[in-house]
Structure 1
Amino acid sequence: MYLPRQQISQLYTDLIRTTHPSSSPVLVLTSLTVDSLCATRILTSLLKRDFIPHTIIPVSGYADLQRAGAELVLPLTRQRGGDGGTVACLGLGGTVALEDMLGLSGTTEDGAIQGEAMDEHGVEVWVIDSHRPWNLENVFGTPTIIQQGDDGAEVVRRRVGVHEGKITPGYKSGQGGIIVWDDGDLEAELTSEKEAYFALQNMPEITEDDLALDEGEQDDEDADQEDDEPSSAGQKRKRTSSPDGSDDELDSDEENDRPRRRRRSNSSDSIPIPSSPGGNPLSAQVDIGSTPPPMPSSPPKQRQKSAKQLRKELLKLRRKHEATLDKYYDLGTSSAECVSSMIYSLASELGKEDNELLWLAIVGVSSVASMPSGSAIKLNQIRALLQEEVIRLNPIPEGELQRSQSAEAIIPTTARSPTDNSIRLSPEPRFLLIRHWSLYDSMLHSPYLATRLHVWSDSGKKRMHKLLAKMGVSLNEAGKGYLHMDTELKRTLRKRILKFAEQYNLDGLVPGDNGRNGMEGWGFVRSWGWRGTLSAEDVAIVVGAILEVGTDAHLFPDLKLDSRSSSDPNYNTRVRNLPTPPHSSDDGMGDDAAADVPDYITQRFFRAYDSLAPTKGLSTLQKSISSAQNLYKAILRVGSALISKKQIRHLSAFRMGVVKEGPDVPLFTHPGALVRLAAWVGEAVAVLDSEKGRKVHKRKDDALVLGALDESRSVYVVVGLGGGNGWSATGKIRSKAEIKEREERKKRKAAEKAAQKAERARKKEERRILRRERMEANGLLDSDVEDDDEESEAETESVSSRSSNEDSDDSDDDEETSKKRSRGLNRFGQAFQEVVEETGARMRIDSFEHSVVEVRKEDLAGFLEALARKPVVG
């Protein structure tokens, strides 16, 4: 079943009405992402305000989800002695048959079906997930209840308040089932899939074997008919008795064929041949002497299709609908609206939104925007709505608003007052943790800037130094902490960057002055009084680092690329004890000592959860900033090594790289950290190709597979990115030739504009002289002539300005159109599954991100070889 977006508050309102002190607590199952973590914070805040008990369970993968279903969800069912309850799945469950995964479908542990034992189990599962494609059984599947009628026959009763999977306002909670929360696009995008799903539900099961069986039965019938036929043509036919008692020599085949033969014999006559009055109505007897009475015309009788033909048509129709569903599932994975923004919409519908919940939604959306997933167009729409919410909930004086929108606007680093907890819009540059680093380090470790300046090489670093010099920033000043830089330099930094952005392929480095209300692309900043001021992207990066690499500084020493820490004799021991992604003990992918490893997943999750607390969370965030800095230092080191040493190979279907040496390898055994590294490498490769002028005609050139060796478990963690939801959406990259041509075109336009201005000035002077001579002859004053000339010049300048603006708007529209062109989807999840089926490679797909897989160390070569033959881009 699915809940339409316009009814998003219906289920929560029912929960408030039906909750009482003895009710089971709401079970919140959340994935380990910043977006889901923010959504959990928003939802639990609403539950606390309404005095609804709840329990939070972090879930790392499908194995954990299945275990949570057996241990926590099933005891809530009425069949197990519970009273039902509510389970909220945040950021997980949308792509699998969740009822089977949680054990609510009525199957026992040995696979036997319990029949109607699980009907009306009372457990209502809310699915708020951004992963696509949907599992259509979750979306359109409607629980049916089988009851015994008065006559003992089974009666199927449909769920009240549900129409074709859609929950209507008449729906009553309490019976249980899977309920998907629609993000607003479900009904518009899944029209054909919905039709195919319900058509298959109403069709009987039929296969090719059934048709083969029909043909066998038909052959047997034909043989029997041949045995029953008379041996000679002169043998009398069997006589049959007609309804009026007379015998009829017509057999059934002749009776069926007679109307056809009669129509053929009368094909030249437009008047149908009637039967004689009182005669045999089946005969062709005609009374020649009488005029035939007028008969109403009737359509010719159509021959009915045989059972075999009907089965063939049914099978063909079934195959068509199955192909529609298969095509939907095979498109590839993608991301839709963020989970945190969905839950914030719920709070807004309930009238309970405030600055705290808005900030959590902003952080969740910012975390998705900084990762290579999702639709850029969808994210921009959500960010625009969040900007409006910030302005609505945080009104500021008009004068301050105008100053903040000026070209010399400075990013806020302090609060307005000791009690200022407001959220502000800020022209945030794409520098990494700029408030907590020096300008130089922030630029060096920024994935966007570092990949475009080629900082992995000495020439790239010199290029960055040259950019700073052109901007008028000395290396000494850039090496200071940003908070301690010269105030005048910070005030004009944005204007200086915009001046040289196009020359260095940095068009999106800072937001420009165009767009709606002059604040398009601006970021979000929040203050906690004098205690600190952080941007939403900084918070998202720090919380993500807590989830991915933890905060234990002694486990992650800040090592140089070419040497290990010689002052740390226990380094190797700590590396072997590093926390690894969770894995089940019975899949052959782990070791026996894994049971002795502490539960790092739970520890990291609740530390990240505490960092988002309204009051005490700031101190946790500030203490964890060093973890985020160390992670991005490692990304720069490893990414630079992969690019400079040419370790990225171009296979037939994708690019591929493996990280298996160096002190930073253990950091990237977590899929989240590895995805960040893959995004950095993919961005760098895309920049190199674009600057060389290579025209990418196939989306496979965007695809990248990156693996990292987990030596402690002898497995490779592998991620696949690209194909439309990767780095290609981060901005247009121009080649050197395009940059040169663009500069020459600007010079030509400037020269043409200057020539036009000089021509207008010359004509103006000629008109002024002629008018002066004429007016002097007529005795008029010179001031009148000057006034007319000024008005004419103003009109000319206005027309020129409008023309220039129109040209600029057209150029912007063309670029925006190119950004919005449709792109493919990530098919690595399907390709991984196909490789397992074909090769039997020992691998495990347990992550909710289907483009993440673990492969045994010795099976990696065969895995990559088979994967290279698969289409990985939709």
Structure 2
Amino acid sequence: MYLPRGQLSQLYAHLVKTTHALSPPLIILTSLGVDALCATRILTSLLRRDYIQYHIEPVAGYSELQRAGQKFALPLTRQRGGEGGVVVCIGAGGLVDLEEVLGLDGAEGEVDMSDHGVEVWVIDARRPWNLGNVFGSSAAVQQGEDGPAVLRRQGVEQGRVMPSYRPGKGGVIVWDDGEIESELTAERDAFMALQDMPEITEEDLIVEGENSEDEVDDEEPSSSQSRKRKASTRDSDDEGSDGSDDEERPRRRRRSNPSTPIPSSPGGNPQSGQAETPSSSQPRSPGAVISSSPPRAPSARSLRRKLLKLRRKHEATLEAYYTLGTSNSEPISSMMYSLASELGREDNDMLWSAIVGISSVDLSPFARTKRRRNEAGKRVLDKSEQIREVLQDEVRRLNPVPEDEIRRSQSQYGVIQTKARSPTDTSIRLSPEPRFLLIRHWSLYDSMLHSPYLSTRLHIWSDAGRKRLHKLLAKMGVSLQEAGKGYIHMDMALKQSLRERILKFAPQYNLDHLVPGENGRRGLEGWGFVRSWGWKATLSAVDVATIASAILEVGADPHLPQATNTASHVPQQSYASRVRSLPTPPHSDTDTAGPAAAPGDPDWTSTRFYAAFDALSPTSEGLDKLLKHIPSAQHLARSILRTGSALIAKKQIRHLRSFRMGVVKDGPDTVLFSHPGALVKLAAWVSEAVAVLEAEKGRKGREGDEALVLACLDEARGVYVVVGLGGGAQGGKSVRSKAEIRAREDKKKKRAEAKAAARAARAIKRRDRKARQREREEALGLIDSDAESNHSQSESDATQSSASSSDSDGSGSDSEVNEAEVQRRKSRGYGSNKFGLAFQSVVEETGARVRIDSFEHSVVEVRREDLGGFLEGLSLRGVVG
């Protein structure tokens, strides 16, 4: 079932109404992502205000999700002695059958689980949905006297939860962000039609055809003998017939006339046993048209064939939906803030959690943004941009700015916010954030050096790229000594003019979007969000998301980043048992053995989860933990730059038939990148760098150039962690080639020269016209010499003013010509990454020992010995982002 967005508060209000002190605690299963953590913070804040008990259980993959279901969900079922309850899956389970994963389908035992009483709320941003969760669970199976009977649930129509629905009966309820009702109409009709259809396959038709042929063969001799007997009887009757048969002969001759239509007699065949109707005994009028008999009813086999065809059609609709690939929709933290807003309980803490969660999704390579235009050619805001505008309005509403601050901000427009207004200021503000990494906690040089956007476009992996960065700073008037200082301690005049300097020289280095532009929508397009904790600190939402993500990927101990064991996401069991516990999606042979984990290994999932969860707290204690983990984020950024530069400089990225491939087997950061989250960030950096290189060579628009597969060796476990990005990076889309840059500069020069020549020609014509007018006025004696001199002076002033006005007009009209966009592929908001489907297909074809346990299906683990065959099988598939 799915819950429309307008009814989110209704479901929560029913939970508050039915919960009492003896009710079981609400179970919250949360994935290890910053967006999921922020959504959990908003939900727990609502639950605490309503005095509802809850328990948070972090899950890093499907195996841990299955164990959590066995531990927490099954004891709530009525079959196990429970009274029912609610399990909330935040950022987990949207792509699989949750009742099967959590064990609520009764497949493992003989107990009927149709009325278990456990409701599972699914809040996930990954797509595509598992349609069994979305449109299923709307019918309950009840045992009756005549066997099992299917009963439709009240308040549920075609999977949609209606306002009349009363929770508490169990089942899966998916929270809709608006996509299900607007885009999944065809899939809904196909799914509901398949539910009512009987199971039938082509094998059933083949078996039925063979049985019917056997019956025909058995009856054929008797039927032929009867036909022979009928023919002999007819011949004997014709020979011995008398005049009594004269009435029948004209009718037979009339039937033999080929020019006359032969209607069927309503009285039936006279030689058959069919009785004549009364109408047949009445005399027929000449030329009367006799109505034909009703059409023959189709056979059972033809009906089954039509049913099979219709079933194949509906199955093809669902298959097309599932094969579009994976991507992200609206962040779940935004959904949670919508719930708080509907309940009227939104505040700055919840708003800040939503902003941080949405900022983390923008940093993810799996969140692909597609620019769309309407029929008039104007650009249409995508969903993420619309959400940002709503958040900006919320910031203005909940954080009103004093008048003196408005006057002060106008004088310092374009300067990023680095301090609070007062010692007790905890407000959220808008700030023109540049695309620098941790600029408030690093020097300007290091922040620019480790920025993925800037480093990939300046080719930082080479000496020429470092010199290019130094040259950019020199053009901006920033010395290396000044850039090496902490940004907080830089010269104030330099910080106030930094944005204008970057805007002036950034286009020369393909850095058009390095800082927010001047003419954005409402003047705030691209602006970020910052929050202050008094004079203690002021952090941006992107910095908070970066630090929290580093805690999940590097570890909770900021002083020992090199001690992050590869068992960070390994439960306390062997590799083989972990593979066997994987319920979905399909995986390879489960009889593979791997090195067993030590029994004393810590629970890295819970340790890192709660460290990041506490760091996201809006209190001062959370701020202290957040600031303490800044070195972890800086260490991860250095490792990404170091390893990515080595892969590019040593040309270890190979271009296969349908994607690019790289392997990290040695180096100081191999242990770090065995974590899937860190490897995804490295893959995003490499993918963007490769896309920039291809774009600068004039190869934009080639399919498969952005698709990248990156593998890292986990020596301790003997496996490779493999991640596939199918066009997730958008780096090369806004990069101009060298030829385009030269052509653009030449076009600007030609336009400037043409405008200068036109201004000169207009000035000459104006001067000649004025001179002829003066001559006429002198001839008529209308002016004297003094007036002439004054008039000449005013003319020169007017000429200068007109020239300056023409210059201003020319500069205003000197707008850049909109470049023709690359032909956009039709899509429905998902389908950006097809590596998850490709990985599963290769496993089935090659039999490689692969473990697919991550909620991101494009992240897998492959045994060390099977990596070659796995990549070879993958290279033969057409994987396009």
In the superposition, the TM-score normalised over structure 2's length comes to 0.87
Identical positions, percent: 59
Deviations 1:719-755 (A, max 9, x none): 11123xx112675011111111111112222222333
SS in 1 for 2:721: strand
1:364 and 2:357 aligned? yes
SS in 2 for 1:29: strand
| Structure 2 counterpart of 1:374, from 362, 367, 373 | 367
Residue aligning to 2:453 = 448
1: CA distance, partners of 2:573 / 2:555: 21
Residue aligning to 1:716 = 720
Deviations 1:662-702 (A, max 9, x none): 1211111110000011111111111111112224421x111
Shift of 1:406: 7.6
Shift of 1:769: 4.8
Residue aligning to 2:857 = 850
SS in 2 for 1:524: strand
Residue aligning to 1:650 = 655
SS in 1 for 2:229: coil
CA separation of 1:101 and 1:761: change in aligned 2, threshold 3 A: same
1:691 and 2:696 aligned? yes
Shift of 1:271: 10
Residue aligning to 2:11 = 11
CA separation of 1:818 and 1:531: change in aligned 2, threshold 3 A: farther
Kept in 1, the 8 Å contact 2:93–2:122? The answer is yes
One-letter amino acid matched to 1:845? I
TM alignment of 1:62-77, pairs within 5 A? 62-77=62-77
2: CA distance, partners of 1:831 / 1:119: 35
Kept in 1, the 8 Å contact 2:89–2:123? The answer is yes
| Structure 2 counterpart of 1:133, from 110, 113, 128 | 128
| Structure 1 counterpart of 2:301, from 296, 308, 311 | 308
TM alignment of 1:754-833, pairs within 5 A? 754-769=756-771, 808=815, 811=818, 825-833=832-840
2: CA distance, partners of 1:611 / 1:756: 63
Residue aligning to 1:741 = 743
2: CA distance, partners of 1:458 / 1:659: 22
2: CA distance, partners of 1:820 / 1:137: 26
One-letter amino acid matched to 1:374? A
1:870 and 2:870 aligned? no
Structure 1 stretch 379-388 or stretch 353-362: which is displaced more? 379-388
1: CA distance, partners of 2:681 / 2:849: 25
Residue aligning to 2:207 = 213
One-letter amino acid matched to 2:510? N
Residue aligning to 1:172 = 166
1: CA distance, partners of 2:255 / 2:747: 81
Residue aligning to 2:588 = none
Kept in 1, the 8 Å contact 2:552–2:612? The answer is yes
Deviations 1:159-185 (A, max 9, x none): 111100001111111111101111111
Residue aligning to 1:161 = 155
CA separation of 1:28 and 1:576: change in aligned 2, threshold 3 A: closer
Residue aligning to 2:373 = none
2: CA distance, partners of 1:622 / 1:486: 24
SS in 2 for 1:676: helix
TM alignment of 1:307-706, pairs within 5 A? 307-376=300-369, 377-397=382-402, 400-401=405-406, 404=409, 409-556=414-561, 579-582=568-571, 584-585=573-574, 586=577, 587=579, 588=592, 590-615=594-619, 616-698=621-703, 700-706=704-710
2: CA distance, partners of 1:234 / 1:270: 26
One-letter amino acid matched to 1:713? R
Shift of 1:794: 9.9
Residue aligning to 1:196 = 190
Kept in 2, the 8 Å contact 1:508–1:731? The answer is no
1: CA distance, partners of 2:674 / 2:487: 33
Kept in 2, the 8 Å contact 1:274–1:292? The answer is no
1: CA distance, partners of 2:212 / 2:141: 37
Shift of 1:218: 1.1
1: CA distance, partners of 2:186 / 2:805: 52
1: CA distance, partners of 2:543 / 2:671: 24
Deviations 1:392-445 (A, max 9, x none): 222224675576578952101100111111111111111110000000111111
Kept in 2, the 8 Å contact 1:729–1:819? The answer is no
Kept in 2, the 8 Å contact 1:772–1:785? The answer is no
Residue aligning to 1:560 = none
One-letter amino acid matched to 2:118? V
Deviations 1:310-336 (A, max 9, x none): 111111111111111111111111111
Kept in 1, the 8 Å contact 2:416–2:433? The answer is yes
CA separation of 1:864 and 1:235: change in aligned 2, threshold 3 A: same
Structure 1 stretch 396-405 or stretch 123-132: which is displaced more? 396-405
SS in 2 for 1:719: strand
CA separation of 1:227 and 1:547: change in aligned 2, threshold 3 A: same
Shift of 1:803: 8.8
* Unaligned ranges ≥5, structure 1: 240-260, 558-573
Kept in 2, the 8 Å contact 1:127–1:178? The answer is yes
Deviations 1:95-124 (A, max 9, x none): 00001111111222xxx553xx22232211
SS in 2 for 1:410: coil
* Unaligned ranges ≥5, structure 2: 234-252, 269-274, 370-381, 580-591
Residue aligning to 2:89 = 89
Shift of 1:778: 10
1: CA distance, partners of 2:52 / 2:213: 68
CA separation of 1:546 and 1:759: change in aligned 2, threshold 3 A: same
CA separation of 1:578 and 1:308: change in aligned 2, threshold 3 A: closer
User: What is the RMSD computed on CA atoms of the aligned residues?
Assistant: 3.5
Equivalent pairs counted in the alignment come to: 823
Residue aligning to 2:248 = none
Kept in 2, the 8 Å contact 1:408–1:495? The answer is no
CA separation of 1:223 and 1:848: change in aligned 2, threshold 3 A: same
1:222 and 2:227 aligned? no
Kept in 2, the 8 Å contact 1:658–1:706? The answer is yes
2: CA distance, partners of 1:793 / 1:122: 84
2: CA distance, partners of 1:161 / 1:750: 69
Residue aligning to 1:45 = 45
1:21 and 2:26 aligned? no
SS in 1 for 2:634: helix
2: CA distance, partners of 1:790 / 1:809: 32
Structure 1 stretch 416-425 or stretch 800-809: which is displaced more? 800-809
Deviations 1:289-346 (A, max 9, x none): x5688x8x96873332211111111111111111111111111111111111111111
SS in 1 for 2:648: helix
Deviations 1:833-862 (A, max 9, x none): 112212221110110000101111111111
2: CA distance, partners of 1:204 / 1:772: 100
Kept in 2, the 8 Å contact 1:654–1:702? The answer is yes
Shift of 1:515: 2.0
2: CA distance, partners of 1:709 / 1:44: 38
Kept in 2, the 8 Å contact 1:120–1:145? The answer is yes
2: CA distance, partners of 1:263 / 1:354: 91
SS in 2 for 1:390: helix
2: CA distance, partners of 1:263 / 1:492: 104
